[in-house]
Structure 1
Amino acid sequence: MPRSPHSRKTRPSVLPALAMALSVLAYLPALPAQTPEPTTTVSVSLPTEPLLVQINQVALERRGPKQAIIEYAGDAGGGSYTVLRDGKPVQSGELRPLPAFTEWSPGKRYFGVDFSAAEQAGQYQVDVRIGTARATSAPVPVRDNAVFATTGAQLLGYFRRSRHTDESDRNLPIFKTSRRVDVWGGWQDAGGDKGKYLSHLGYANFFNPQQASMAAWVLAYGAHARKALFAAHGLQAQVEDEAFWGADYLHRILDAEGYFYTTVFDQWGTPGAERMVTGYEGAAGTYNTGYRSAFRAGGGMAIAALARASMLAKATGRHGEFEGAVYLADAQRAYDHLRQFNPQYCADGKENIIDDYTALMALVELHHATGQSRYLEDARQRAASLMSRQQADGGFISDGGSRPYFHAAEAGLPVISLSAYVDIEPEQPRRQRALDAIGSALAHELKITGSVANPYGYARQRFQLTKNGKAEGEVLEGFFIPHRNETGYWWQGESARLASLSTAMVIGGRKLAEHGAAGYGLPREQAVYAQDQLDWTLGRNPYGISMLYGFGGKNPPTVLESAGEMFVGGISNGITGAVGSDTGAGITFAPGPDSEQWRWVEQWIPHTTWMLLAVMAMSEDEH
C-alpha cells in the first residue's frame, strides 16, 4: 500500500467500491456500532487531559495478562486505583510507578495497574485517583478466547468486504508484452487502493511484505488446522469460503511458466493509468517488468497457501472454483520453478532472509500436503540458511553482510517459520538447533524491548539509516521504523508488525516450554510481551484509539481522499514516529495534511491478516 502523495489528491470516486462493500453485508453477521464519521480535514493530537487511563478497549483474556497504563501530568507523587467488574470493586491498591519516560510526552509520569489475577468473566474498568484528579478507563470485556470470540466474525468479514470483483480483471495486459490474462478475484489491498498485491516494495529488496498470499495462507491454515475453534463460533463455513476464494485467485495469477504475478496495479487509481499486471518502483509507481514473484515477493507464501488449501479441500470435500488437486499441483509446480529461478526474480539478483523464511513456510506446507522427503531436505537447507543469519544476541541480519533485519509488517515470520519447521523435523539434533534459534530470537525481542523505559511495552527494533540507497553506518535502536530507509519514501504505522511479533512469541514460546502459568501456555514475561503488542493496536496506546474499526470506544477518523473507505474488521496502519524524524523517533498519529493520512489511518490487508493469526494462536480450541 505505498502511496504517492500526488496521486492521492486525484483519486477517483470511492462510491462504486462503497456500493460493492455494502452488497456483501447481507452475508455477514450484525456489525458493531461504528463511531467515526467521514471528515474532510483531520489532525489528531495526543490527549491533553492531566490524567488518562489507557486500556485494551476490545477484549482481554480471562487467564491472560491484563494491564492498564496511567499517564499523569500533575504534581502529586502517587495515587490509588480500583478495578471494577460489572460496576463492582474487585481489586484496589496503590498505583505502581513505572520508570521515567519522556520521549513521547515530556512532563508526564506513568503508572501501571496489573489486574491479571482477576479471572472471572465480566466487563471491567479501572478507576484511578491521583491527588484531586480522577479518571476511569474504557470498559473491556474479559472472557475465554477473548479477542477471537469478540472480533473473529468481523475479522473474517473484512476479507469478504475487501473482495475485488471487477470483471475487467478477467482480461488485463501484462506490461511490455502482447499478452492478456485473467487475474479476476482476490482482495483489494487497502481502503484506498483497489490494486492487488502478493507483495510490493521489491525494488528495495529488504522491505517486501507478504500481502494477499499471506492472507490466503492464514485463512486456509485457520480453516484446516483450527477448525474446532472456528466451528465453535459458527464461523467454519465462512472461513472456508474465504480460504478457497484466496486459493482460486492464486491459481489464476500462476503463469504457465510457473511464476506468480506480483501485482495488479493502476498507480493507486491515478486517472489515465492503465490497470495491468506489472512491477513498479518508487513513490511515482513507475511501471517495470518486475512482475514475476520471487519467494520474498509473495511467491513463497502463495505456495504455502495453495498447499494448505489442498489439505483443506481434502479434509472437507469442499473447494472453490478449482479443485484441491489443482491447488496442490499449482503449489508443486510453482515451487519447482522458483527453486530454479528465484534469484533471477529478486531485484538485486540475490536471495535474502525474506526468501529464506517464506520458502521455508512453502516447504513445510508442501511436506504436510505430500509427505515427500524432498521437501524436508530442502526445508533443512532453508532453515540452516535462515539460522546462519542469526547473530550471537539472537537478532537476525537481512543479507550476507551486516544489515540488521527489521520489517514493518512481518518481523515475527523468521521465528514462525522455524517453529513450523520444528513440526516436520524428525531428527532431534536438527530440531534442537531450531529450538535454540527460536529461544535466542525471542530472548532478543524481550531484551531490546525492555532495555529502555517503555511504559506500553511497545516492541522495539534495531536498524540502519539509508545513505545513497543503501542501509549502512551505525546500528541504531528505536520504537518505530526509520523514515529514512531503502524505499525512499515508505513508512507507516506498524499494526501488522506488532501482531506478527505477538504471534511469534506465542507460537515460538510454546515450542520451548511445556506450559507456563501466565496465560497462552507461556512464562509471564513472554505472555506479557505478546499481550502488550495487541493491546497497543486495540486501544492501550497514548492516543487511546482502537485501530480495529468498529471495536472499542474510539476509532481512527475516516479520510476518504487519502485513506479510502473503512470496513468493520479492518485495522488502520497506526501510530508512527514523528514526521521529519529520520530515525522514527518521537510519536504521531494522523497529523495531516490529508493527502498523507494513509500512513496512519488507511486499512491494509496485512494488519487484519496478522491480527487474525495472532488471536488464533492465543485461543484454545473449543469443543
Structure 2
Amino acid sequence: MTCLPQSRKTGVRVTAALALALSSWLHTAGAASDPESAATPKTSVSVSLPTEPLLVQINQVALERRGPKRAVVEYAGKAGEGGYTVLRDGKPIKRGELRPLQPFTEWTPGKRYFDVDFSEVQEPGKYQVEVRIGEQRALSSPVPVRDDAVFATTGAQLLAYFKRSRHTDETDRKLRIFQTSRKVDVWGGWQDAGGDKGKYLSHLGYANHFNPQQASMAAWVLAYGAHARKDLFAAHGLQAQVEDEAFWGADYLHRILDAEGYFYTTVFDQWGTPGVERMVTGYEGAAGTFTTLYRSAFRAGGGMAIAALARASMLAEQTGRHGVFDGARYLADAERAYAHLRRFNPQYCADGKENIIDDYTALMALVELHNATGQSRYLDDARERAANLIARQQADGGFVSDGGRRPYYHAAEAGLPVISLAAYLDIEPEQGRRQRVLDAIASALKYELAITNAVANPYGYARQRFQLAQDGKAAGDVLEGFFIPHRNETGYWWQGESARLASLSAAMVIGGRKLAGHGAAGYGLPVDQAAYAQSQLDWTLGRNPYGISMLYGFGKKNPPTVLESAGEMFVGGISNGITGAPGSDTGAGISFAPGPDSEQWRWVEQWIPHTTWMLFAAMAMTTGETTSEAR
C-alpha cells in the first residue's frame, strides 16, 4: 500500500502476464485507451527535474471549456523578451506577452517563471501553448478542452481502476483474527495499492491524526456517484458500471462488520512478506508490527463505512438492484454500526480520545443515515458533530486536530472537513445553524487561499500548516510548507499527496458553491476559488515541474513502473506523486522517484484514495448538484 516500507517489498510477485499488462515510462493517452496495452517494464529508474532551458507545463489530460486554463513557463536562460501563442487544433488563435510571476527559488534556483492564461478561450478542441524567449522555443503537451472535461475524458477508466483492483482470492473467505482462534469471512473489496494486496478501511491509527479513509471512502464515492449523480454517469454510459462497483464495495463492508457492531480495520500480511499469516489485524509502523487495533473507530474508516452503506441502501431502493446483500441489509448494517460506535468509539482510538477526523467522518455517517431514514435523532447527532468540528476552527479559518494547538493537515483528505459541513447543510433546516456552517465554510476556504498565496507559488500548489514530531508527538513551532513534513508522528509516512490535492479541489468547488454570490470564472466560482480548484487537479494531471501526469494511461508522460517496490500499474490508477526532498524534516525542496528502487513506492505506487478522490473531484466539477441533496 502507500505506506509500504523499504524492508517489506519482498512480497511483490512478478509474472509474465503481469509484465505484459504494464505500460512504459513514456505512455500516451492514445496508447492507453486499451487497458491491456503494454511495453517491457523498467525495473530501475531515477527521475530528475527536466534540464531544458525553456519548458511549458500544462494539464496534459483535459481542461474545462468554461474553466481556468493556464500554462506555467519555466525559463533558465538569459533575460530576453518573450511571448506566447495559443494553438487550437494546430492553428494560432491567441498571442501575447509572457506575464512574469514572483521570483521563486525553493525548488530550482536560477529559474524564472511566467504565466500564460487562456481561460477566456472556450471553443472545444485540442490546445497547445507555444512559447519563445530570445532564441529559445518550447511547445506544451496537447490538452483537449471540452465540457465536463476531466469526468468525460477519464471517468470510464477511473471506474475501471476499481474493478481491476478487486481482491478475489478465496483465502479471504476464512481468515483468523489476530490473537484469537476466530476465523471470519472477509472476502471481496479492493486491494489497497499497486504493491499491496492488503485491504484497508484505514491505517496509521497508532499515530492518531493521520488516519486516511481508504476502502470505505471508495465505497461511499461510488455509491454517492451512482445515486446522487446518476444522470451524469448515465449520460456517459457508465451507470451500470458504477452501480456494480458501488454494490461490490457495500457487500465487502457487510462482510467486515463484526457481530458486535464494529468494522475490521485491516486485512494484512505485512505487505506480502513470505511466511507471514494473512489475517484481520491492526498494525503499527514501518515494520508492520501486528496489533489489536483492528476495531475501526469513526476515524479509522468506520464513519465512512456507515456513510457508504447508508448511501448504498438508497441506491438499491432507487434502482431495484443490489449486490449479494440487499438494500435493507445495507441500511440495517449502517444503523447497527453507528449505534455501536456512538457508545464505544473512544475505546477504538489509539489514544482513547476523539479528534477532528472522528468529527468529520461521523458527520458524514450521520448525514447519510438521515438521508436514508429521515430520523430526527440522526439530525440531532449531526448537529453535535458539526458543532464539534466548527469549534476546532481557528480565527483565520484553519482547523486544529485535537483539543490543543496541533494544526490539522492530512496527506489524503484535507478537503473532507469542508465537504462534510457542506453535506450537513443539505439536511439542516434551521437558518441560524445553517449560517454558522456557511460562515465556517467561508472561513475555511479563505484560509486555504491565504496560506497557498502567502508566498511565491508559481504552480498554485496547496500549502499547509504543521508541527514537527518530537518523541512521537507534534510539538514546537507551527510551520508552513508545500509538502507533508517528513518528521511527523507516523515515523515514516510522507509519500506524495495526489489524494490530498483532489480532495481540496473538490472542497473548494463544493464549499464555494454553497456560499452566496456565484462567480463566472468557472465551476460557478469566483476567480480565486476557481483557479485554486483547477491548480490542484492540474498538478496531478501534468502541470508540475516534472511534466508528469500521475494518472496512468493519460497524458504525454506517466510515472515509471518499478515492480520491486510499487508493483502493478493500472490504467486509471494514480501514483502517490511529488514530495519534498528526502532528508528534509520539514518536507522542503522537491523530489520525484529519485531512488533507490526499494523506496520508489513513496512516489510511484498507485493507491486507491488517489483515484477515489479524483473521481469525486471530477464529479464535483461537472454541471449540476454535487453534494448529498439527492435522496
TM-score tier (shorter) = over 0.9
1:458 aligns with 2:464: no
1:337-383 Cα distance to aligned partner (Å, 9 max, x none):
00000000000000000000000000000000000000000000000
Q: Which residue of 2 aligns with 1:175?
A: 178
Identify which of 484, 490, 494 aligns with 1:491.
494
1:395 aligns with 2:398: yes
1:266 aligns with 2:281: no
- Structure 1's 518 and 46: CA in aligned 2 closer, same or farther, altered over 3 A? same
Instruction: Give the AA of the match of 2:269.
Output: D
Q: Which residue of 1 aligns with 2:90?
A: 87
Q: What's the TM-score, normalizing by structure 1?
A: 0.97
- For the aligned residue pairs, the C-alpha RMSD in angstroms reads 1.5
Q: Which residue of 1 aligns with 2:282?
A: 279
Q: Which residue of 1 aligns with 2:25?
A: none
Instruction: Give the AA of the match of 1:6.
Output: S
Task: Please give the secondary structure, in 1, of the residue aligned with 2:461.
Answer: coil
1:113-132 aligned within 5 A: 113-132=116-135
**Alpha carbons 1:539, 1:545 under 8 Å: kept:** yes
Q: Which residue of 2 aligns with 1:338?
A: 341
Task: Please give the secondary structure, in 2, of the residue aligned with 1:464.
Answer: strand
1:593 aligns with 2:587: no
1:245-264 Cα distance to aligned partner (Å, 9 max, x none):
00000000000000000000
1:13-40 Cα distance to aligned partner (Å, 9 max, x none):
1439949989xxxxxx952796875112
Task: Please give the secondary structure, in 2, of the residue aligned with 1:38.
Answer: coil
Identify which of 243, 247, 255 aligns with 2:246.
243
1:212-227 aligned within 5 A: 212-227=215-230
1:244-297 Cα distance to aligned partner (Å, 9 max, x none):
000000000000000000000000001111000000101000001110000000
Identify which of 527, 531, 537 aligns with 2:530.
527
CA distance in 2, matches of 1:97, 1:368: 49
1:359 aligns with 2:362: yes
1:582 aligns with 2:589: no
CA distance in 1, matches of 2:213, 2:488: 19
**Alpha carbons 1:35, 1:555 under 8 Å: kept:** no
CA distance in 2, matches of 1:418, 1:479: 25
Identify which of 613, 616, 620 aligns with 1:617.
620
Task: Please give the secondary structure, in 2, of the residue aligned with 1:292.
Answer: coil
1:504-543 aligned within 5 A: 504-543=507-546
CA distance in 1, matches of 2:507, 2:12: 39
Task: Please give the secondary structure, in 1, of the residue aligned with 2:264.
Answer: coil
Instruction: Give the AA of the match of 2:15.
Output: L
CA distance in 2, matches of 1:548, 1:518: 26
CA apart distance, 1:3: 1.8
Identify which of 467, 470, 473 aligns with 2:473.
470
Instruction: Give the AA of the match of 1:385.
Output: N
Identify which of 95, 98, 105 aligns with 2:101.
98
Identify which of 141, 145, 156 aligns with 1:153.
156
- Structure 1's 339 and 208: CA in aligned 2 closer, same or farther, altered over 3 A? same
CA distance in 2, matches of 1:231, 1:16: 37
Instruction: Give the AA of the match of 1:44.
Output: V
Q: Which residue of 1 aligns with 2:294?
A: 291
- Structure 1's 167 and 61: CA in aligned 2 closer, same or farther, altered over 3 A? same
CA apart distance, 1:12: 4.0
Q: Which residue of 2 aligns with 1:15?
A: 15
1:3 aligns with 2:4: yes
Q: Which residue of 2 aligns with 1:25?
A: none
Q: Which residue of 2 aligns with 1:26?
A: none
1:411-490 aligned within 5 A: 411-490=414-493
**Alpha carbons 1:164, 1:186 under 8 Å: kept:** yes
CA distance in 2, matches of 1:317, 1:155: 25
Task: Please give the secondary structure, in 2, of the residue aligned with 1:118.
Answer: coil
Q: Which residue of 1 aligns with 2:571?
A: 568
- Structure 1's 446 and 108: CA in aligned 2 closer, same or farther, altered over 3 A? same
Q: Which residue of 1 aligns with 2:29?
A: none
How many positions carry a matched residue from both structures? 615
CA distance in 2, matches of 1:31, 1:351: 46
Task: Please give the secondary structure, in 1, of the residue aligned with 2:115.
Answer: strand
Identify which of 388, 409, 432 aligns with 1:406.
409
**Alpha carbons 2:20, 2:39 under 8 Å: kept:** no
Task: Please give the secondary structure, in 2, of the residue aligned with 1:503.
Answer: helix
Instruction: Give the AA of the match of 2:214.
Output: Q
- Structure 1's 547 and 360: CA in aligned 2 closer, same or farther, altered over 3 A? same
**Alpha carbons 1:513, 1:522 under 8 Å: kept:** no
CA apart distance, 1:515: 2.2
CA distance in 1, matches of 2:554, 2:439: 38
Task: Please give the secondary structure, in 1, of the residue aligned with 2:389.
Answer: helix
CA distance in 2, matches of 1:140, 1:6: 40
Identify which of 28, 53, 64 aligns with 2:56.
53
Instruction: Give the AA of the match of 1:486.
Output: E
CA apart distance, 1:513: 2.8
CA distance in 2, matches of 1:576, 1:435: 33
Instruction: Give the AA of the match of 2:515.
Output: L
Identify which of 133, 136, 145 aligns with 1:133.
136
Instruction: Give the AA of the match of 2:477.
Output: E
- Structure 1's 572 and 98: CA in aligned 2 closer, same or farther, altered over 3 A? same
**Alpha carbons 2:21, 2:37 under 8 Å: kept:** no
**Alpha carbons 1:36, 1:556 under 8 Å: kept:** no
CA apart distance, 1:178: 1.1
- Structure 1's 17 and 272: CA in aligned 2 closer, same or farther, altered over 3 A? farther
- Structure 1's 21 and 89: CA in aligned 2 closer, same or farther, altered over 3 A? closer
Instruction: Give the AA of the match of 1:71.
Output: E
Task: Please give the secondary structure, in 1, of the residue aligned with 2:514.
Answer: helix
CA distance in 2, matches of 1:419, 1:20: 44
CA apart distance, 1:78: 3.2
Identify which of 312, 316, 321 aligns with 2:315.
312
- Structure 1's 71 and 148: CA in aligned 2 closer, same or farther, altered over 3 A? same
Task: Please give the secondary structure, in 1, of the residue aligned with 2:600.
Answer: helix
1:252 aligns with 2:272: no
Q: Which residue of 2 aligns with 1:328?
A: 331
**Alpha carbons 1:35, 1:550 under 8 Å: kept:** no
CA apart distance, 1:170: 0.2
**Alpha carbons 2:226, 2:246 under 8 Å: kept:** yes
CA distance in 1, matches of 2:406, 2:549: 33
Identify which of 198, 203, 217 aligns with 1:200.
203
Task: Please give the secondary structure, in 1, of the residue aligned with 2:451.
Answer: helix
**Alpha carbons 2:21, 2:38 under 8 Å: kept:** no
CA apart distance, 1:469: 0.6
Q: Which residue of 1 aligns with 2:113?
A: 110
Q: Which residue of 2 aligns with 1:63?
A: 66
CA distance in 2, matches of 1:536, 1:124: 18
Task: Please give the secondary structure, in 1, of the residue aligned with 2:110.
Answer: coil
**Alpha carbons 2:150, 2:618 under 8 Å: kept:** yes
Task: Please give the secondary structure, in 1, of the residue aligned with 2:426.
Answer: helix
CA distance in 1, matches of 2:350, 2:210: 12
Instruction: Give the AA of the match of 1:433.
Output: R
CA apart distance, 1:4: 2.2
